[in-house]
A and B are shown apart, each in its own frame.
Chain A
Amino acid sequence: MNERSERALQRGYVLVEMLVSIAIIGALLGVLLQFAIAAQEAVTVQADVADLQQRLRVAAEALRHDLLAAGAGGVNGPLADAFAPILPARTGSAGADPELSAHADRISITYVPDTRSQTALTIGMGGPGAPLAIDPNAPGCPADGSCGFTRGDRALVFSAGAHDVFTVADVSGSSATISPAAALSHTYPAGSRVVGVVQRVYYLDRPGKRLMLYDGDRSDLPLVDHVVDLRFTYYVDPAADAVRPPPADGSSCAYAPGTPPVPLLDDLGGLAPTLVPPSRLTDGPVCGLSPHRFDADLLRVRRIGVTVRLETESAALRGSGPAFLTRGTSAGGAKYVPDLQVTFDVAPRNMPAFAGRGH
Chain B
Amino acid sequence: MDRRAAGFALVEVLMAACLVITVAVAVSQISAAAVRASYAARVRTLAAMLAAQKMEQLRSLRWSRTRIGTPAVTVPVSDVSTDLSSDPPTDAGPGLSPSPAGTLDSNVPFYVDYLDAGGTWVGHGATPPGAAVYVRRWAVQPLDSDPDDILVLQVIVTTTADAVAHQARFVSVLTRKP
Q: Which residues of A contact B (CB under 8 A)?
A: 10, 13-14, 17, 20-21, 24-25, 28, 31-32, 35-36, 38-39, 42-43, 46, 49-50, 53, 56-57, 60, 64, 235, 237, 269-275, 302-303, 340-347, 349, 352-356, 358-359
Partner of A272, one of B14, B49, B82: B82
Interchain Cβ contacts within 8 Å, total number: 130
Partner of A35, one of B24, B35, B42, B68: B24
Q: With A and B bound together, what is the CA distance between A359 and B64 in angstroms?
A: 13
Most buried by B among A39, A64, A352: A39
Known: A35-B28, A57-B45. 6 other contacts (CB 8 A): A14-B6, A17-B7, A24-B14, A28-B20, A270-B82, A271-B62
Q: B3 touching A344 by the CB < 8 A rule?
A: no
With A347-B56, A353-B177, A358-B66 as given contacts, are A39 and B31 in contact (CB-CB < 8 Å)?
A: yes
Smallest Cβ distance from B75 to chain A, in angstroms?
7
Q: A342 touching B10 by the CB < 8 A rule?
A: no
Partner of A271, one of B24, B59, B79: B79
Closest 7 CB pairs between A and B? A355-B66, A355-B77, A347-B60, A272-B82, A358-B66, A303-B60, A39-B28
Q: With A and B bound together, what is the CA distance between A114 and B124 in angstroms?
A: 42
Q: A46 touching B35 by the CB < 8 A rule?
A: yes
Q: Which residues of A contact B31 (CB under 8 A)?
A: 39, 42-43, 46
Q: Which residues of B contact A359 (CB under 8 A)?
A: 66, 68
Interface size on B, residues (CB 8 A): 52
Mostly, the B contact residues are helix
Smallest Cβ distance from B39 to chain A, in angstroms?
8
- Let me know if B27 is at the binding interface, CB within 8 A: yes
Smallest Cβ distance from A50 to chain B, in angstroms?
6
- Let me know if B143 is at the binding interface, CB within 8 A: no
Q: With A and B bound together, what is the CA distance between A14 and B178 in angstroms?
A: 95
Q: With A and B bound together, what is the CA distance between A13 and B10 in angstroms?
A: 12
Q: With A and B bound together, what is the CA distance between A235 and B53 in angstroms?
A: 13
Q: Which residues of B contact A (CB under 8 A)?
A: 2-3, 6-7, 9-10, 13-14, 17, 20-21, 24-25, 27-28, 31-32, 34-35, 38, 41-42, 45-46, 49, 52-53, 56-57, 59-66, 68, 75, 77, 79, 81-82, 84, 88-91, 95, 118-119, 177
Partner of A354, one of B32, B56, B64: B64
Partner of A56, one of B13, B45, B56: B45
Q: Which residues of B contact A302 (CB under 8 A)?
A: 60
A–B pairs, 19, beta carbons within 8 Å: A17-B7, A17-B9, A25-B17, A46-B34, A235-B60, A269-B91, A270-B91, A272-B82, A303-B57, A340-B42, A344-B52, A344-B53, A344-B56, A345-B52, A345-B53, A345-B56, A347-B59, A347-B60, A353-B177
Q: With A and B bound together, what is the CA distance between A42 and B13 in angstroms?
A: 30
Q: Which residues of A contact B65 (CB under 8 A)?
A: 355
Partner of A353, one of B53, B64, B68: B64
CB nearest to A50 among chain B residues: B38
Q: Which residues of B contact A25 (CB under 8 A)?
A: 13, 17
Q: Which residues of A contact B61 (CB under 8 A)?
A: 271-273
Smallest Cβ distance from A39 to chain B, in angstroms?
4
Q: A17 touching B34 by the CB < 8 A rule?
A: no
Partner of B21, one of A32, A49, A340: A32
Q: A42 touching B32 by the CB < 8 A rule?
A: yes
Partner of A342, one of B3, B49, B56, B88: B49
Q: Which residues of B contact A42 (CB under 8 A)?
A: 31-32, 34-35
Q: A355 touching B62 by the CB < 8 A rule?
A: yes
Q: B24 touching A36 by the CB < 8 A rule?
A: yes
With A46-B35, A359-B66 as given contacts, are A28 and B28 in contact (CB-CB < 8 Å)?
A: no
